[in-house]
Amino acid sequence: MIRESQLDPSALDGVTRILDLLALKPGAAIPVALDLGLARGIAYYTGIVFEIKGAGGAFLGGGGRYDGLARALGSPSDVPALGFAYSLEHVIQALAGKGTEQGRVAARPLIIVPRTPAALPAALNVAEAFRKEGLVAEVEVDCPGGRERAAYARWKGVEEIVTVDVDGKVRKRRVAS
């Protein structure tokens, strides 16, 4: 379709990257459907948009990329942004029959950082192992530098940054307050 329309195929590079990252999720039992006709009802989206659905296709939330929103609200320039929101009522309905553990809070949140792009699959496996222990583990996909990462970790209340080599070797570093 892109060739027939004489469009630049690089327009799908971002979508391809996202799908590649989703495919790396170890043991993923989460179905992902690509719908190039999906349009969220708000005009400020400037890139990929998505919806999150639960069992039986029930809508739970959605969001997308909206780099031009800050300018539309009066900023002198665009600000790169991505966000989403859950529909609280739909999430409550979805959880009502699940027997979830409510009130469980992880003892220490972690940021998992692959040392190289090739280490991303290993980092996802490490994050999954931490989550099975009941911890909150966030994987950095496009890693900022050391100072930026440390500042972000402090802002998030993260106690440890975990770096992962391509072979799965883990190094933990406490975040200074």
Secondary structure element (H or E) that encloses residue 173, with its range: strand 170-174
Q: Is 64 left (phi over 0), alpha (psi -120 to 50) or beta?
A: left
Looking at domain 110-174, does it have CATH number 3.40.50.800?
Answer: yes
Q: What does the pLDDT look like over 45-59, one tens digit per residue?
A: 888 888 888 766 778
Is the model's pLDDT at 106 over the cut of 60? no
Q: What does the pLDDT look like over 121-162, one tens digit per residue?
A: 899 999 888 888 878 888 887 765 677 777 888 877 788 889
CB under 8 Å to 50, separation ≥6 — which residues? 38, 62, 63, 64, 84
Domain ranges of the chain: 9-96, 110-174
Contact 45, 29 (CB under 8 A): no
The pTM is what?
Answer: 0.52
